[in-house]
């Protein structure tokens, strides 16, 4: 079972990807994690990616796909995997499809966690992070015991720049321009499934299980 997770930043697709991985016993493959692991391990692919990242440039699609295929060729992926954060663009999806096709393989499901932009702005604007220990909260859904103070280490909680309204709006604009076309791409392939991401995460997961089971 090979799954691609789609959805705007803050839609909760990462959370759902982890739940799918745990429930179905398949790896949660995040491109960010793979890059970090390859760079930390000093692999040839990692070092090649690092030359781009050090210059502040985007890693080319072809290299990203090579790193990804190297990861999904490992034994723990033989029963499938759930991709989180890739593909982000049509060219990436096309390269991934072409490479999987060479292996006689394909993506089985593209799951779109659908959340309206206004919900995402509210959701992300309510996030608070502890810069000391990394704990995260939400002023409505997971509030700290004491307002503005981390339960775990007592440090001050902050609204990260990434979660400020103007930043979220910019990220959403990029998402709609680059990633939204993937919905059409996977619809044409006959593998797109859409779930309502505005409900509680357990209800979102129940809808996903209804598709995968």
Q: Which residues are catalytic?
A: 13, 88, 127, 160, 171
Place of tokens 């995968």: 212
DSSP character for 60? P
The pair of three-digit structure tokens given for residue 208, joined into one six-digit string: 């996903």
Separation between Cα atoms, residue 133 and residue 154, nearest integer Å:
10
Residues in the chain: 213
Q: How far is CA 108 from CA 64, 70, 119, 164, 201, in A?
A: 20, 19, 29, 35, 23
Are 191 and 96 within 8 A, CB to CB? no
Q: Is 75 left (phi over 0), alpha (psi -120 to 50) or beta?
A: alpha
- Strands 127-130 and 157-158 come out as antiparallel
Separation between Cα atoms, residue 198 and residue 108, nearest integer Å:
24
The angle at the Cα of 22, spanning 21 to 25, to the nearest 5 degrees, equals 70
Are 92 and 181 within 8 A, CB to CB? no
**Hey, CA dihedral for 186, 190, 196, 200, is it positive or negative?**
negative
């Amino acid at each position: 079972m090979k799954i691609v997770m789609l959805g705007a930043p803050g839609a909760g697709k990462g959370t759902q990807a982890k739940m799918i991985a745990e429930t179905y016993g398949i790896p949660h493959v995040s491109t960010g994690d793979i890059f970090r692991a390859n760079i930390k391990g000093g692999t040839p692919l990692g070092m090649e990616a690092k030359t781009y990242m050090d210059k502040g440039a985007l890693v080319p699609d072809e290299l990203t796909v090579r790193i990804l295929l190297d990861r999904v060729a490992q034994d723990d992926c033989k029963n499938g995997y759930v991709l989180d954060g890739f593909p982000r663009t049509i060219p990436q999806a096309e390269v991934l499809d072409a490479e999987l096709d060479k292996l006689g393989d394909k993506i089985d499901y593209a799951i779109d966690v659908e959340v309206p932009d206004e919900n995402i702005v509210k959701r992300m604007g309510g996030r608070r992070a502890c810069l000391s220990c990394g704990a995260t909260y939400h002023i409505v859904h997971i509030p700290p015991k004491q307002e503005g103070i981390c339960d775990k280490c007592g440090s001050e909680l902050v609204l990260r720049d990434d979660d400020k309204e103007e930043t979220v709006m910019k990220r959403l604009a990029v998402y709609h321009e680059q990633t939204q076309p993937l919905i059409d791409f996977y619809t044409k392939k006959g593998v797109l499934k859409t779930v309502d991401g505005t409900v509680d995460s357990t209800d979102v997961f129940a809808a996903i299980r209804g598709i995968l089971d």
